[in-house]
Amino acid sequence: MEKKLKYFFKDLCDRELISNYANLENFYLLKKEEKKIYWGIDCNHDTLHIGHLLLIIQIIRFAKEDFKIFLMLGESTSRIGDPSDKIEERIRIKEKDISNFSKKIKEQIEKILISPKKIENYGKNPLENFYNDSILIKKIYQILKIKENWNENKKWKEYLKYIWPFWDNKIDEKFQIISNKKWLEKISYIDFIDKIGRKLTVNYILAKDWIKKRLSKGLSYLGFSYSLLQAYDFYYLYKNYDCKGQLGGSDQWGNITTGLKLIKSYYPSNNAFAFNFCLLKDKMGKKISKSGDKKGIIFLNSDEKIFCDFFQNMSDEQVLIYIKQFTFLKKKQINELIKLNNPPKLRILQRILLELIYWINYQKLYNVRINLEQ
């Protein structure tokens, strides 16, 4: 188990995914029944965005390694709003809106991760929407280990495994959607500060980078308390769900490490761990999310053309990173595809990425002819 998990972690690093990690030895020493992790999702919008999709792909990697994943909807914490990457107080969201957002996000997650996957017959093999050159397609298939004599359905199934490596009806057993409303709204304020306030010092919280940045601008007690609530989520899941690890974007590191500290205060010999993944960034190095530039947001319910343009028009430099982070293609396969991508206008990596990501988001095969001259 230890050797296999070390190899898995190395693969995550090779794909330039890991931003921070804590208690790596605990991760390596996990027993089969201890392979449980969670990812918390804010309910402050009615849809996930492309940055969430990057995290979802990583969750699939853990599921492939036989981890059970708790997808925690932050219904209660969304009433406060995570202040860690903001320069001012978040606007309060009405409780009924949070409930509606939670329902829609749950539906999106179920569609992508839990619902049975079915390949429709589109009358074309993978990449035939992009290339008329059968020789080129054959070379790509050889790299992807797709045999020419397979039928269309088999070819698509093998092709799509590079984004969705499961084709059985038991996939839903790897994921469980829960809400922190289940426990946070049952604990009284007195019980909370008695349980948590005794374990975490003000000095520890003040040392967090995001706290330091906000103090100069003004930070309410509400914002200050958010980190305690997220820490309690991790502690509660560790105690009651036997959940050993937390995943999140790099902007969550302060909150996640607070959770690790809280767990350690109750269980000095704990085996908890945490990973942070690099945030999705554009070619200028700017974070892509709904809290950034509104014009740069790609929501998962966006018009299909907007979604497709994002991947189809990606720069050659950017796609070298995205192809590693969004797919299950191996390093050797990627290098062989790069060599085959001559001249670069063939845009092989962009088109593979587009077809694969399009399928996992829209649950159908890409069926639009692309102008090869663009």
Q: What is the pLDDT of residue 88?
A: 64
| Comma-separated ranges of CATH 3.40.50.620 domains in the chain | 2-117+168-277
Q: What is the pLDDT of residue 87?
A: 61
Phi, psi of 176, deg, nearest 5? -140, 120
- Mean pLDDT to the nearest integer, 316-325: 94
Query: Which segments of the chain does DSSP mark as H helices, in order?
Result: 2-14, 24-28, 50-64, 95-109, 134-143, 152-160, 181-184, 189-195, 202-206, 209-215, 221-241, 253-266, 304-312, 316-326, 331-340, 348-362
Higher model confidence: residue 261 or residue 251? 261
Cβ-based burial of 73 (10 A; exposed 0-12, middle 13-18, buried ≥19): buried
In this predicted structure, the answer to whether residue 292 has a pLDDT above a threshold of 70 is no
pLDDT digits (tens, 9 = 90+) for 234-247: 999 999 999 999 99
CATH of 2-117+168-277, one of 3.40.50.620, 3.40.50.1240, 3.50.50.100, 3.40.50.300: 3.40.50.620
Tokens representing 235 are 């502690």
Are 272 and 25 within 8 A, CB to CB?
no
Q: What is the pLDDT of residue 71?
A: 98
Omega before residue 343 within 30° of 0, cis: yes
Residue with tokens 């593979």, as numbered in its chain? 352
In this predicted structure, the answer to whether residue 103 has a pLDDT above a threshold of 50 is yes
How many Cβ atoms are within 10 Å of 101's Cβ, its own excluded? 20
Are 271 and 26 within 8 A, CB to CB?
yes
pLDDT band at 373 (very low <50, low <70, confident <90, very high): very low
Cβ-based burial of 78 (10 A; exposed 0-12, middle 13-18, buried ≥19): buried
Q: What is the pLDDT of residue 293?
A: 45
Higher model confidence: residue 260 or residue 92? 260
- Mean pLDDT to the nearest integer, 97-126: 89
In this predicted structure, the answer to whether residue 288 has a pLDDT above a threshold of 60 is yes
* Least confident among 126-140, 174-188, 355-369: 355-369
* Least confident among 225-234, 294-303, 337-346, 350-359: 294-303
pLDDT band at 291 (very low <50, low <70, confident <90, very high): very low
Distance CA(46)–CA(56), nearest Å, equals 17
H helix or E strand, kind and range, residue 36: strand 36-42
Q: What is the pLDDT of residue 319?
A: 94
Strand pairing class (68-74; 36-42) = parallel
Distance CA(279)–CA(282), nearest Å, equals 10
Are 225 and 32 within 8 A, CB to CB?
no
H helix or E strand, kind and range, residue 70: strand 68-74
* Least confident among 53-62, 109-118, 184-193, 216-225: 216-225
- Mean pLDDT to the nearest integer, 75-98: 81
Tokens representing 270 are 């704990």
In this predicted structure, the answer to whether residue 97 has a pLDDT above a threshold of 70 is yes
pLDDT band at 173 (very low <50, low <70, confident <90, very high): confident
pLDDT digits (tens, 9 = 90+) for 116-164: 787 877 788 999 989 989 999 999 999 999 998 999 989 999 999 999 8
In this predicted structure, the answer to whether residue 372 has a pLDDT above a threshold of 90 is no
